[in-house]
Amino acid sequence: MSFYPYAVAAWLFVVGLWGIVASENLVRTVLCLTVVQSATYVLLLAVGYRHGGAAPIVADIPVHSRLVDPTVQVLVLTDVVIEATVSALLLALVVQGHKRFGSVDPQQLRALHD
């Protein structure tokens, strides 16, 4: 397995974090959060990849075929479900925030500070 998927995963994680830090729009912040999460998909799939491996559906291939690891694919599926839930919730909050604050710029959310 080459080094590239790991580099891509690390890049996605860091660039997503940078996007959240620098964002001036909460919709963009939420999208950057999904970029951070996609780093975990790439990493998990890379971990389970086997060179020349078939998809782990054993119904119509010989039993002793070389397969990629199905476990990480299940983990990615769970991860996707979590992402869908959290993104939906966050986007709903951003819409509501736009109604109440009249802005989606985190600078303009001034209800809480010390």
Interface residues toward other proteins, by CB under 8 A: 9, 13, 17, 20-23, 26, 29-30, 33, 36-37, 39-40, 43-44, 47, 71-72, 75, 78-79, 82, 85-86, 89-90, 93-94, 96-97, 100-101, 106-107, 109-114
**Which of 61/88 has CB closer to other proteins?**
88
Half-sphere exposure of 2 (CA within 13 A, CB side): 4
Q: How far is the CB of 4 from other proteins (least distance, A)?
A: 16
Containing 62, the helix (H) or strand (E) segment is none
Q: How far is the CB of 19 from other proteins (least distance, A)?
A: 10
What is the per-residue DSSP string for 12-52?
HHHHHHHHHHH-SSHHHHHHHHHHHHHHHHHHHHHHH--TT
Q: How far is the CB of 110 from other proteins (least distance, A)?
A: 7
- Residues whose CB is less than 8 angstroms from the CB of residue 97 and which lie 6 or more positions away in sequence, other chains included: 26, 103, 104, 109
**Which of 8/60 has CB closer to other proteins?**
8
**Which of 64/99 has CB closer to other proteins?**
99
Angle between helices 4-22 and 26-48 (to 10 degrees): 160
**Which of 60/108 has CB closer to other proteins?**
108
